[in-house]
Structure 1
Amino acid sequence: MVNVEINPENQTILSTEKLKLKAVVSNETGNVTYQWSVNGENVTGATNDAFIFDPEYTLGDFTVGVYVEDEEPSNATAETTVSVVSGVVVKDAIEVLKDKIDVANTKLDSVKATLVDIDDAL
């Protein structure tokens, strides 16, 4: 009886990214057919062992599944969760951190200048 797993499993990606998923089949008899789905809806044309998940900037959790069937015939399904988070949030967080580093560097420069003044006075 055919078995299938999806690799990688349970991933988190940015809304601006795509994720390649692969159906790993074992115990198959002859040729295998594939059908990928997102949230229970078959994806037209997604009938290979690999699938590119593209959230198209939509945030949330998605259930990505694959149905496989071999010549016996036997079939199997596998599902994984893809969580999509905002790339903008990450970008904004990086900008905030850069600003905080700039402030810290300015304060550090001020402390260094004060230390030089003290050293010169000694």
Structure 2
Amino acid sequence: MKHEVPAQVDTAVILADYFSERHYRDTIIQRPYLRVELTDVVGQNRLLDRQVVVNYQQPVVHDNALTLGADMGRGLCAVMAGYRRKSWEFRAGYDFINRTPVVGVQKTLWQW
């Protein structure tokens, strides 16, 4: 099938458009710790360049902590300081009602 060519054709505009480069950027994946970007350069009716940039930042996990708290109840009023390592916590403190030192250990069973 033949198409009729228009009488007024601006060849300079067609050539300028053909030889110009267009830059496209797209974010393919966007997650809390991962980002993937795609950059394309298109010109002369073809793909001239493609770059893929991957940015991954591993989350920081803190395994150690110093804690401070209080245990209160009937016949108990203890101030405690502790050290937590991963899922274990070791505590020591003083019970002001019974006037005695107290110690404790705690294990995290379920975490969400």
Shorter-chain TM-score range: under 0.3
Larger Rg computed on CA atoms: 2
Task: Give the number of the structure whose residues are more often strand, by fraction.
Answer: 2
TM-score by length of 1: 0.25
TM-score by length of 2: 0.27
Task: Give the number of the structure whose residues are more often helix, by fraction.
Answer: 1
